[in-house]
Structure 1
Amino acid sequence: MRLLVLLLSLLWALPAAAQDQATLVADRLTLQSSKVMVASGHVEVFYKGQHITASRVVYDAAQDHLVIEGPILITDASGSRITADSAEFTADLTEGLIRTARIVMAEQLQLAAAEMRRDGSVTAMRSVAASSCRVCGDGPPLWEIRARQVVHDAQAQQIWFTGASLRLAGVPVIYLPVLRVPDPTLDRAQGFLFPELSASTALGTGISLPYFIPLGRSRDLTLTPFLTDNGGRTLGWRYRQAYASGTLELAGAFSRDRLLPTDLRGTLRAKAAFDLGGDWHLGFDGTLVSDPAYLQDYGISEEDRLVSTLRLSRVTRDSFTSAELTSLRTLRTTESNATQPSTLTGAEAVRRFTPGALGGTATLYAEISGQRRNATSGADGDGDGIADGRDMGRVSLGAAWARRWVTPGGVTLDAGLQAGADFYSIDQDDLYAGDAARTSARGALRLGYPLIRRDAGGVTLLEPHLQLVTARTRADAAIPNEDSALVEFDEANLYALDRFPGADALETGLRLNLGLSVTRQSDAGPDWGLTLGRVIRLDETRAFSTASGLGGAASDWLVAGQVTLDSRLSLTARALVGEDASLSRFESRFALTGQRAGLSGGYEFVPADATQGRAEDIREVVLDGTARLGDFWTLSASDRYDLSSQTTRASLGLGFRNECLSVDLSVSRRFTSSSIVAPSSDFGLTVELLGLGGASKGRAATTCRR
Structure 2
Amino acid sequence: MRDLRRARQSAEKLGLCAGSALSLLCGSAALAQTATELPVRALDSPTPLLPSEAPRITAPKPTPVATDDGLGQDGFYLEADTLVRDDKANTWTARGGVEARYQGRTLRAEEVIYSVATGAVTVNGKAQIIEADGTVQFAEHAVLDDKMRAGFARGFALHTTQDATFAADVAIRRSETVNELNRAVFTPCPVCAPDGSSVTPTWSIQADRIVQDHQHRLVYYRNAVIRIKGVPVFYTPFLSHPDPSSPRASGLLMPEPTSSNSRGFTYRQGYLFVVSPSMELTVKPDISTKQNPFLQMEWKERFYSGYLDARVGYTYSRDFDGKGDQFGGQTSRSFILADGRFSLNDKWDWGFTLDRASDPLIFEKYQIPNVYENHGMFTPDLQRLLSQLFVTRQDSNSYLSIAALDFQGLRTSSTGITENSETFPIVAPLIEARYEPKADIFGGRLRFTGSAVVLSANESAIDPEQPGIDSRRATAEVNWRRNFTLADGMRLSPFLDLRGDFYNIANTTPTDHSDHSIGRGLGTAGLDFSWPFMRQAGSTTVILEPVAQIALSPNVSANPHIPNEDSIVTNFDETNLFSIDRFTGYDLAEGGQRFNIGGRATIDWGDGLSARILVGRVFRAQPLALASVNTGQGSSASATGNPTPQPATNLTFAPNTGLNKTASDWVVAAETTPVAGLSMFGRTLLDNNFQAQDTEVGVNFARSRMRGYLRYDDDNTQITGRQRNVEGAGEFFVTKHWGFSVMGVRDLQFSDWRMRDLGVIYMDDCIRVEVVYQHEDTQIGRLGKSDSVFVRLKLATLGDEGYRNADFR
For normalisation by structure 1, the TM-score amounts to: 0.87
State the partner residue of 1:25.
78
Which of 426, 435, 450 is 1:351 aligned to? 435
In structure 2, the CA distance between the partners of 1:138 and 1:243, relative to structure 1 (3 Å rule), is closer
Structure with the bigger percentage of strand:
1
State the partner residue of 1:266.
334
CA deviation map 1:582-615 (0-9, x unaligned): 22222223323333222323222222654xxx2x
Amino acid at match of 2:523: A
Q: Aligned partners of 2:793 and 2:412: how far apart in 1?
A: 38
SS of the residue aligned with 1:659?
coil
CA deviation map 1:194-217 (0-9, x unaligned): 212111112211222221111222
1:234 maps onto 2:312 in alignment = no
In structure 2, the CA distance between the partners of 1:632 and 1:308, relative to structure 1 (3 Å rule), is farther
Q: Aligned partners of 1:561 and 1:139: how far apart in 2?
A: 49
CA deviation map 1:265-308 (0-9, x unaligned): 23221122333333333333342222111112233247311123
Amino acid at match of 2:393: R
Q: Is the 8 A contact 2:107 2:148 kept in 1?
A: no
Which of 656, 668, 679 is 2:774 aligned to? 668
| Aligned ranges 1:445-524 → 2 under 5 Å | 445-455=527-537, 457-472=540-555, 478-522=561-605
SS of the residue aligned with 1:500?
coil
In structure 2, the CA distance between the partners of 1:589 and 1:257, relative to structure 1 (3 Å rule), is farther
State the partner residue of 1:544.
653
Q: Aligned partners of 1:511 and 1:659: how far apart in 2?
A: 59
1:438 maps onto 2:520 in alignment = yes
Q: Is the 8 A contact 1:391 1:427 kept in 2?
A: yes
| Aligned ranges 1:248-327 → 2 under 5 Å | 248-256=308-316, 259-260=319-320, 262-299=330-367, 300=369, 301=371, 303-327=382-406
Deviation at 1:571, TM superposition (A): 2.3
State the partner residue of 2:11.
none
State the partner residue of 2:498.
419
Which of 178, 184, 188 is 2:238 aligned to? 178
In structure 2, the CA distance between the partners of 1:87 and 1:512, relative to structure 1 (3 Å rule), is closer
Q: Aligned partners of 1:483 and 1:42: how far apart in 2?
A: 79
State the partner residue of 2:729.
624
Structure 1 window deviating more from structure 2 (64-73 vs 414-423): it is: 64-73
Amino acid at match of 1:567: A
In structure 2, the CA distance between the partners of 1:546 and 1:214, relative to structure 1 (3 Å rule), is same
SS of the residue aligned with 1:283?
strand
In structure 2, the CA distance between the partners of 1:216 and 1:199, relative to structure 1 (3 Å rule), is same
- Structure 2 unpaired stretches of 5+: 6-71, 321-325, 373-381, 414-418, 626-651, 805-809
State the partner residue of 2:164.
109
In structure 2, the CA distance between the partners of 1:559 and 1:388, relative to structure 1 (3 Å rule), is farther
Q: Aligned partners of 2:435 and 2:201: how far apart in 1?
A: 66
SS of the residue aligned with 2:364?
helix
SS of the residue aligned with 1:471?
coil
In structure 2, the CA distance between the partners of 1:95 and 1:468, relative to structure 1 (3 Å rule), is closer
State the partner residue of 1:588.
697
Q: Aligned partners of 2:560 and 2:749: how far apart in 1?
A: 42
In structure 2, the CA distance between the partners of 1:48 and 1:182, relative to structure 1 (3 Å rule), is farther
Deviation at 1:550, TM superposition (A): 0.9
Deviation at 1:636, TM superposition (A): 2.7
Q: Is the 8 A contact 1:469 1:497 kept in 2?
A: no
SS of the residue aligned with 2:479?
strand
State the partner residue of 1:602.
711
In structure 2, the CA distance between the partners of 1:220 and 1:698, relative to structure 1 (3 Å rule), is closer
Q: Aligned partners of 2:451 and 2:746: how far apart in 1?
A: 42
Deviation at 1:337, TM superposition (A): 0.7
In structure 2, the CA distance between the partners of 1:141 and 1:603, relative to structure 1 (3 Å rule), is closer
Which of 169, 180, 184 is 1:124 aligned to? 180
Q: Aligned partners of 1:492 and 1:397: how far apart in 2?
A: 24
Q: Aligned partners of 1:695 and 1:198: how far apart in 2?
A: 28
Higher RCO, Cα 8 Å, sep 6+: 2
Q: Is the 8 A contact 1:41 1:55 kept in 2?
A: yes
Deviation at 1:91, TM superposition (A): 3.9
Deviation at 1:654, TM superposition (A): 3.1
| Aligned ranges 1:36-435 → 2 under 5 Å | 36-47=91-102, 50-62=105-117, 65-76=120-131, 79-91=134-146, 96-120=151-175, 121-135=177-191, 140-256=200-316, 259-260=319-320, 262-299=330-367, 300=369, 301=371, 303-333=382-412, 335-353=419-437, 358-375=442-459, 377=460, 380-381=462-463, 389-430=468-509, 433-435=515-517
Which of 642, 645, 662 is 2:747 aligned to? 642
Q: Aligned partners of 2:344 and 2:739: how far apart in 1?
A: 44
Q: Aligned partners of 1:354 and 1:140: how far apart in 2?
A: 66
State the partner residue of 1:15.
none
Q: Is the 8 A contact 1:111 1:130 kept in 2?
A: yes
1:656 maps onto 2:710 in alignment = no
SS of the residue aligned with 1:264?
strand
Deviation at 1:567, TM superposition (A): 3.5
Deviation at 1:143, TM superposition (A): 3.2
Q: Is the 8 A contact 1:195 1:208 kept in 2?
A: yes
Structure 1 window deviating more from structure 2 (213-222 vs 334-343): it is: 334-343
State the partner residue of 1:7.
none
Q: Is the 8 A contact 1:438 1:475 kept in 2?
A: no
Aligned-residue sequence identity (percent) comes to 26
SS of the residue aligned with 2:276?
coil
In structure 2, the CA distance between the partners of 1:30 and 1:598, relative to structure 1 (3 Å rule), is same
Deviation at 1:184, TM superposition (A): 0.9
Q: Aligned partners of 1:96 and 1:518: how far apart in 2?
A: 70
Amino acid at match of 2:436: R
Q: Note the aligned Cα RMSD (angstroms).
A: 3.2
Q: Aligned partners of 2:180 and 2:787: how far apart in 1?
A: 49
Q: Aligned partners of 1:382 and 1:587: how far apart in 2?
A: 40
State the partner residue of 1:14.
none
Deviation at 1:497, TM superposition (A): 1.8
